[in-house]
Amino acid sequence: MRMKFTRSSQLVLVSAASLAAATLVTACSQFTQTLTVDFVYVTSAKAAGTNNYGEINVFEINSESGRMRQIPTSPFPSEGRNPVAEAVSSDYGSLFVVNHDDNTIVQFVIGSDGKLYGFNTVNTPGVFPMAVTTSKSNLFVVDTYQPLPIASIAHPCSGSIAVYPLKAATSSTPVGLPPQAVNNTAVGGNYWPLALPGANSDSSNCTSSGHVIVPTAVNVLASGADVYVTAYDASASPSVGYIFGFSVGSDGTLTPLSGSPFAAGVQPSAVASKSDSTGTYVYATDFARGNVLAYSVSSGNLTQLGGSPFPAGNQPSAIVVNPTYPYAYVANSLDGTIEAYSISNGKLSYLGNSPTPVIYAAGVQPVAIGIDPSTNRFLYAVNFLNNTVSGYQSSITTGTLLDSQFSPYPTNANPTAVAAIPHNGTGAGIQP
């Protein structure tokens, strides 16, 4: 018996076949793609375990909802006491964690599943490291006190910066972190003091001609050519803020910029930078005055922009600048908020030219903030006092934020810092 097919029945069969094919493609995609767009690493300072080590919580970010979920083996020990800062290598293969109380930098190799494997540990030249950043070629670490004989909490010294040249990774070895920092022949040590012009360090009283310079943060330009350290003179009343700038040589040696240090309010607390078609800019939060200072960069030297400083909330403690889109976000630690800005020719304004601040709720005392490196669409803020990390989804057209699904997310006690890598280097192929 021969069946007769009408045009309508043929359409039904075609539709059914298309649906079956689509279902097959979707099913296959579930095996070939993942919704994990980034891995996020949050250090927690409070000691845990028999070794009194801090912890590193590892989260995966869902590309659709922004939800942050800890991977099954998280947390990992920081392999040191009181981890306070972290950074990733430019190839996203290593995580560097600074343990303040042990004077160490611990290098972890990052697995394809986000897991951490302790690989290398070096001691910083000075005392109490508190900030770290990386370029393609170097790792920069800032110590609270430079290595003078009687440096201690009872006898505070001015701080210092050190440089570790990074050896490029190979197919079988991770990025190489040398055991010692670059030598500074001017001081006969592996560090550069943070000192005011004409002030020499006095090893007998551990100051620089009566000035105690307290560092707070570090940032290197995307080019790797210049590095900046925010700091303040704690011996002055009120304190006086500075940004110390250095050009970076091909071998990692530092040379103070001709105009350094640059005036930076009263108590700068964080620093970030951005390069776009209009120039290169540096931003510093002033913890004491509640604002953001903005500078243009020319041959490394900083010139404050017109309209700077720009208002922020109470006790701004962290700043992140979107590397792709024209937005910046500041964590106000006393207010428990994230404040959002638009960027135009380096200058900051409230989103949508709003006459009032555009503010989003965070947790209690946010102290660090980051943007996912895969799509630049997801933000995360670390809340020190209520042991959480807040997740947000940002609009690439307006800069506004929405809470990620189920945010905030629990961490170990007293989280201090955050860093992230893209999953498989591309966010698993999922783009905004």
Task: Answer whether residue 184 shows pLDDT above 50.
Answer: yes
H or E element that contains 164: strand 160-165
Closest CA to 146 of 123, 133, 162: 162
Query: Residue 32: its pLDDT value, please?
Result: 39
What is the tens place of the pLDDT at every residue in 278-320? 999 999 999 999 999 999 999 999 999 999 999 999 999 999 9
What is the tens place of the pLDDT at every residue in 384-415? 999 999 999 999 999 999 999 999 999 999 99
Give the number of other CB atoms < 10 A from CB of residue 313. Answer: 20
Cβ contact 63:37 at 8 Å: yes
Parse the chain into domains and list their residue ranges.
36-195+219-425
Task: Answer whether residue 26 shows pLDDT above 50.
Answer: no
Query: What is the Cα 61 distance to its own chain's centre?
Result: 17
Cβ contact 280:221 at 8 Å: yes
Q: What are phi and psi of 24, to 5 degrees?
A: -65, -45
Amino acid occupying residue 334: L
The predicted model scores a pTM of 0.89
CA separation for the pair 294, 195 (Å, rounded): 23
167 vs 97, 125, 274, 375, 426, CA distance in Å?
A: 18, 19, 25, 28, 23
What is the band of 430 on the pLDDT scale with cuts at 50, 70, 90?
A: very low
CATH 2.130.10.10 is the classification of domain 36-195+219-425: yes
Give the bridge partners for 362, in sequence order: none
Q: Which residue would you say has higher pLDDT here, 426 or 244?
A: 244
What is the band of 425 on the pLDDT scale with cuts at 50, 70, 90?
A: low
Lowest-pLDDT range of 3-7, 127-131, 292-296: 3-7
Query: Residue 384: its pLDDT value, please?
Result: 97
CA separation for the pair 116, 122 (Å, rounded): 17
Query: Residue 49: its pLDDT value, please?
Result: 66
What is the band of 353 on the pLDDT scale with cuts at 50, 70, 90?
A: confident
Residues in the chain: 432
